[in-house]
Chains A and B, each alone.
Chain A
Amino acid sequence: MNDSEQAPIIPDEGEVGFVEYQDFVSEEPFKFVSGGSLPELTLRYETYGHLNAAKDNGILICHALSGDHHCAGVHGIEERKQGWWNFMVGPGKPIDTTRYFVICSNVLGGCQGSTGPGSINPATGTPYNLDFPKLTVEDMVKAQSLLVDSFGIDRLHAVIGGSMGGMQTLQWAIQYPERIGRYIALASGARHTAQAIAFNDTGRQAIIADPAWQQGSYDPANGPNQGLAVARMMAHITYLSDVGMESKFGRKRRNSDESKEHFDVEFEVESYLRYQGASFVTRFDANTYLYLTKALDRFDLHSPESLDATLRPVTAPGLVVGFTSDWLYPPQGNREVVEALLRLGKHATYAELAMDFGHDSFLVRAPKLYELIHRFLSR
């Protein structure tokens, strides 16, 4: 979900510029909600801006399913793409790095440097693969809290995230209410709809049905790339909107080469999705995809008792933002979180943006979103 196209840039004023990732290693055993555990864990992260003396200006950004810790700046002069939320994070931007110390980590279970199914199990010397413990959003947030601890931060100024990151954000507000000053959850919700679960499972089945998957024990160099690419193509459709796809691609044809095979790429939209699929497999791990989508499908703030009961511990003021064209995490699912918070007498705001970019709207630079986030963080 972080493939917003951006022109190559030379870092200059107003940009965080060159950044480097770091690895946080916790040598304590890490226990999962499911009962499983890891002997140690690593979270790869980046930070932007400076932690102040009072250590109260930290902002944690939680990334989406296919995102990572690299949300702003570039790693080197040759890097074509800036971090996935570069327009939102930087000097003078809504998440202003001259004011805030911004932390973004690759999620637990991820494949961009944090401990996940592809990491080596120190007990066996081989990758965890399907021995990786069952993962939940609670586990992801707990791991992030250890990283926050490592900076000596008791209380974050804010936690903010979209999609899976929005669910983590809500989980932060529930799990560590005293540790956050405010939170912003974009394009998220209290739980997946049947449709969202259906799409996720179709993606998982594409991976599992790929012979190269090998019950999860594939060689990383020869993974189930076909299955993962199809999963990504299909998921990518759910991140866009009908209107958005129509205006971007319509029925535009790639080329009119009659000599080509009947089922070769013909339409622009096919070319785009195949590219999305092909590039995704170069940076993403199939088992991580299985684990993360499953964690999201199981995330359910209505359980075990009710949405109101789950949200009762929340103390921080919250902002929940829905997007009109998001049919994966539709406005109603975002709204119901705020409705419950208001029933409970909490400080919560619901705002809805009319944008045509579907679920991915939160990754699109829009002046109204810009101002909304800036204002909410400044209060």
Chain B
Amino acid sequence: MSPTDKKRQADFQIIARWVNEGDRVLDLGCGRGVLLEYLQQKKSIYGVGVDIDFDKILSCVKRGVPAYQGDIRAILANFPDDAFDRVIFSRTVEHLEEPDAILAEGLRVGRHVTVGFINKGFWVNRVNSLLKGRRTVNEVYSKPWYESLPSNPFSVAEFEDYCDARKIVIENRVYLGGDWRTECSKLPNLMAGYAIYNLASTD
């Protein structure tokens, strides 16, 4: 595994912690299907990926991961309440056009929701912005802004405020440092490079 893949997949073990054996899992913005393949192997899940890009679906087919090419909002509307044990948004929420509505749909369709994202409040991001006037470029996000997806990044503090406001229950949370591997707990909005939440709706 390349260092980039290593970093890209650093959250897999944490995501897997909250997945039960044989769970039904929907991965929104599944990319190449690597996470679902991992969960299939570790937890024998029934997993479905969703992505807008044909080449990503092709990669899922190579991995034997069922996948749906299309719009996340449209496919969520297709499913009845609690159709899945878990809906995963791994580095997806920041790219959504209507994050609030789609997270609500995710919480309707999934009994639990996993959200993983890069913490905009991480001190390195602050320094890059403040001192260099530039966004952070790392192994996973190595491309310049003009070759990247539109992104609406947010911080740990902002996300937790949102969960409060929407009465979303945070069942578990894990903060990872700048290496996206070592867990950290102090001053997460400043010290966490990456954050992963296990969520459920209040009812």
* Interchain CB contact (< 8 A) of B66 among A335, A343, A347, A371: A347
Q: Considering residues B54, B68, B80, which has the most beta carbons from chain A within 10 angstroms of its beta carbon? A: B68
Bound state CA distance, A353 and B54, in angstroms?
Answer: 7
Decide yes or no: A339 and B75 within 8 Å by CB, A351-B54, A372-B58 being known contacts: yes
B70 in contact with A342 (CB, 8 Å): no
Bound state CA distance, A161 and B157, in angstroms?
Answer: 52
Bound state CA distance, A352 and B58, in angstroms?
Answer: 10
Bound state CA distance, A87 and B70, in angstroms?
Answer: 28
Contact count band on A: 20 to 34
Q: Which residue of A lies closest to B56 (CB)?
A: A351
CB-CB contacts below 8 Å: B63-119 with A: 64, 66-70, 75, 78-80, 83
Bound state CA distance, A166 and B58, in angstroms?
Answer: 20
Bound state CA distance, A350 and B48, in angstroms?
Answer: 11
A379 in contact with B58 (CB, 8 Å): no
Q: Which residue of B lies closest to A378 (CB)?
A: B62
Q: Is A375 an interface residue (CB 8 A)?
A: yes
A379 in contact with B64 (CB, 8 Å): yes
A368 in contact with B58 (CB, 8 Å): yes
Q: Which residue of B lies closest to A346 (CB)?
A: B66
Decide yes or no: A375 and B83 within 8 Å by CB, A345-B24, A349-B66, A368-B54 being known contacts: no
List B residues at the A interface (Cβ < 8 Å): 24, 46, 48, 54-55, 57-58, 60-62, 64, 66-70, 75, 78-80, 83
State the 7 A-B residue pairs at the shortest beta-carbon distance, nearest first: A339-B78, A351-B57, A375-B61, A379-B64, A350-B68, A347-B66, A352-B69
What would 15 more interface pairs be, CB under 8 Å, given A349-B60, A351-B69, A379-B64? A338-B68, A339-B78, A342-B68, A342-B75, A343-B78, A343-B79, A349-B67, A350-B57, A350-B67, A351-B54, A351-B58, A351-B67, A371-B58, A372-B58, A375-B61
List A residues at the B interface (Cβ < 8 Å): 317, 319, 335, 338-339, 342-343, 345, 347-354, 368, 371-372, 375-376, 379
